[in-house]
Copies of this chain bind each other. A is one copy, B any other.
Amino acid sequence: MKSITRYLTLNTSKRMELINITSQVRKAVEESQVKEGLCLVNAMHISASVFINDNESGLHYDFEKWLEKLAPHNPIEQYKHNDTGEDNADAHLKRQVMGREVVVAITSGKLDFGPWEQIYYGEFDGQRPKRVLIKILGE
């Protein structure tokens, strides 16, 4: 059995931002030399997501607008969590809608993807460095 572990660090310029990390994950798969296996990619912070969806900027705009409707940032006083001095309760909620992680199959040494699948980091409380973990297991 082979395994490798990689960490990415992301620091967004905006509070909410969606970043395509597919090429970094592909690189880790190549380095692992795993031919048949599983690749876990997860946010290591609890106000961020890793998810798979479309590489289309209009859809990213739609996602951000929709998440803001489902779990609005303002007024920050609507959340008990923000009584602790934080202002990111909404980010913890948004992350649950989008998910913490993806698990992707590796087949014949490659991410076994459908035609449009791209891996995204979803930041909902950004402007500071945060980490993503890539763990690959297989042989």
Determine the chain B residues whose CB is within 8 A of the CB of A113 once the complex forms: 44
Say yes or no for A31: interface residue by CB 8 A criterion: no
Contact A114 B53 (CB under 8 A): no
Determine the chain B residues whose CB is within 8 A of the CB of A22 once the complex forms: none
Q: How large is the interface on A (under 10, 10 to 19, 20 to 34, 35 or more residues)?
A: 35 or more
Interface string of A92-107 (1 = CB under 8 A from B): 1101111111111101
State in angstroms the CA–CA spacing of A72 and B46 once bound together.
25
Contact B92 A59 (CB under 8 A): yes
11 contacts between A and B (CB under 8 A): A1-B1, A44-B115, A51-B96, A53-B96, A58-B81, A58-B83, A59-B80, A61-B80, A62-B81, A63-B96, A137-B138
